[in-house]
Amino acid sequence: MTLIANLLNAVGGRPRVAHPDFVRSYPAKLPYSALNVEIPLRHFSPEAMRTFLLIERPRRRDDGPLQPERGWTSIGQFNDFIRQGLLALVTELGEDTVFCGARERQVGPEDFYNSGGEAFPVTDLRSALLALRVVTEQGEGLSDSIFDSDDLLFGEQRQVAHYFRFNEILTGRTYGPHDTPAAPPTGPEIDVRWDDAYLIDPKASLADYARYDDKAVYEHAVAFNAAYAQLLAHLEIAFNGTPRFMVLGVPAMLRLREHAERLYHNPHPDPDKGPRGYFASATFEIDHHQIEYGHEVVSARIRTTNLNADEPVDLSAVEPS
């Protein structure tokens, strides 16, 4: 996401992630996709893994070029459509005209909490194409391989790409070093405990929770959504000219986990659902009011946090909750 924000900034765009129109209500349709499927909120389950596999599906040789009127059929096809568009624009307008964004809007490795791969500035066609390559190969792997390219590009440990990690969980078995995308994994078994998951209602909503006399679940769900809006505000502020504050998004993500735990420690308040094993869950519903308040909270947090651009950030000094 950071690399795509860097790419958008490099061509003079503005990442707008703290906006209700950016956040889809659930169940959602995949944007610009030819796959006519609904994406609901799910608990950990084989169905959830199949949804992830659908979203991350590698490009196939018979996919052909993306046709905008039909939409994409694989995420790799969509990424390649962006790559082809960049190449065409540079040919038509020139590299200096296309890459007109301000350098100070770029999130670099000094601003980024490393969770696999690397963040790097996008300033020209070469770095833009590299960013798209990293994003594509982290999801679907190198061509005809189950592995991403982080070891080749950044000297990191060799990793299985996202699509194949999800498939490992679904099949209950890891990939071996010589396995290929066309065959199932042949490595050691994984102890996948589907039955340990907290079951959730994919149609849960704030309006649903508000109908019951016990307001604890409703209040926890509202608090989660407020924290979600604040996380998006952290990202939007970092992506729009203050990349040093990107690191503050890490404790913001931890706050999401805390609020989620408070939710699923409660049974679903519906008398018909709770006794059947359903638990309360986050609804990811935000509106303009929460976005505005999220920006206010994040701006106040930034004003009270000393982030020296020349020194590493000590996350333990940032209030976690």
pTM across the whole model: 0.86
- Cis preceding-peptide flag for 27 (omega within 30 of 0): yes
Query: How far is residue 200's CA from residue 170's CA, in Å, rounded to a whole number?
Result: 19
Q: How many CA atoms lie within 13 A of 38 on its CB side?
A: 8
pLDDT of the residue at 84: 93
Query: How far is residue 297's CA from residue 144's CA, in Å, rounded to a whole number?
Result: 46
- Per-residue burial over 256-278, b if 16 or more Cβ lie within 10 Å, else e, is beebbebbbebbbbbeebbeeeb
| CB distance 150 to 139 below 8 Å | no
DSSP one-letter code for 305: S
Q: Hey, what are 205's tokens?
A: 């909503």
List, in order, residues 6 or more apart from 114 with CB less than 8 Å away: none
pLDDT digits (tens, 9 = 90+) for 119-163: 899 999 999 999 999 988 888 887 788 888 877 777 778 888 999
Q: To which H or E segment does residue 38 belong?
A: strand 38-39
69 Cα distance to chain centroid: 26
Query: How far is residue 67's CA from residue 78's CA, in Å, rounded to a whole number?
Result: 10
DSSP one-letter code for 32: T
Per DSSP bridges, beta strands 28-29 and 278-279 are: unpaired
Residue 84's alpha-carbon distances to 25, 152, 292, in angstroms, are 31, 24, 37
| CB distance 35 to 73 below 8 Å | yes
> Tens of pLDDT along the chain (321 residues)?
999 999 999 999 999 998 877 777 788 888 888 888 888 899 999 999 999 998 888 887 777 777 888 888 888 888 889 999 999 999 999 999 999 999 999 998 888 766 556 889 999 999 999 999 998 888 888 778 888 887 777 777 888 899 999 999 999 999 998 999 989 999 999 999 999 999 999 889 999 999 998 899 999 999 999 999 999 999 999 999 989 888 888 888 889 999 999 999 999 999 889 878 999 999 999 888 888 988 898 888 878 776 655 555 554 544 444
Residue 41's alpha-carbon distances to 99, 199, 235, 283, 302, in angstroms, are 37, 11, 22, 8, 32
| CB distance 318 to 251 below 8 Å | yes
Query: How far is residue 244's CA from residue 260's CA, in Å, rounded to a whole number?
Result: 27
Q: To which H or E segment does residue 199 belong?
A: strand 199-200
Query: How far is residue 151's CA from residue 156's CA, in Å, rounded to a whole number?
Result: 4
pLDDT of the residue at 317: 47
